[in-house]
Amino acid sequence: MVNIGKTSIFGAELWGALQGLQLAWDMSFRQVVLELDNKSVVELLNGENISLNQHRHIVSLIRQLLQRRWFIRIVHIHREGNRAADWLASYAAHHAMGSHILEHCPSALSTILREDIIGYHFLDFVSCNQTFCLLLI
């Protein structure tokens, strides 16, 4: 989880994508589906032109990650399918700035993840085990 301070929704989505992709790479994931609930961000990351975007530096960093030897698919999902990411964003807002690795899934997040696993209303890309929970947003 990352608390990046105040930014736009668009900027937060980009920072989340950057941090999530970097973490996935560092953890040796080589096939990743990046799900975002902001269609404009998905279109920007899947497109070619970034020169007019005020976040071009972050997009450039993301594109550098995408060029590595791995498979990344960037897809748009509806906000309702992104509950775990929304929960983490809210949780991060109450913690110090910077990156924090959660070694245990908080109980409220575990409930959301269990609902995802059984197909209750929503879907997210999640990898969890007993000691570590990773949600790539």
How much is the pLDDT for 30?
Answer: 95
Contacts of 83 (CB under 8 A, 6+ apart): 112, 116, 122, 124
Number of domains into which the chain is organized: 1
Do 133 and 109 contact (CB within 8 A), yes or no?
Answer: yes
**Containing H/E element for 32?**
strand 31-36
Can you give the CATH number for the domain in which 116 is found? 3.30.420
Give the pLDDT means over successive 10-residue stretches in the chain (137 positions).
64 88 93 89 82 80 95 85 76 74 85 78 46 46
How much is the pLDDT for 26?
Answer: 94
Tens digits of residue pLDDT in 100-119: 777 888 899 998 888 877 76
Specify the pairing of strand 126-128 against strand 133-135: antiparallel
Long-range contacts of 53-58 (CB under 8 A, 24+ apart): 55/10, 55/11, 55/14, 58/11, 58/14, 58/15, 58/18
The whole domain housing 47 covers 2-135
CA 26 from centroid of its chain's CA atoms: 15
How much is the pLDDT for 131?
Answer: 41
pTM of the model: 0.68
Closest by CA to 75, choosing from 111, 104, 37, is: 37
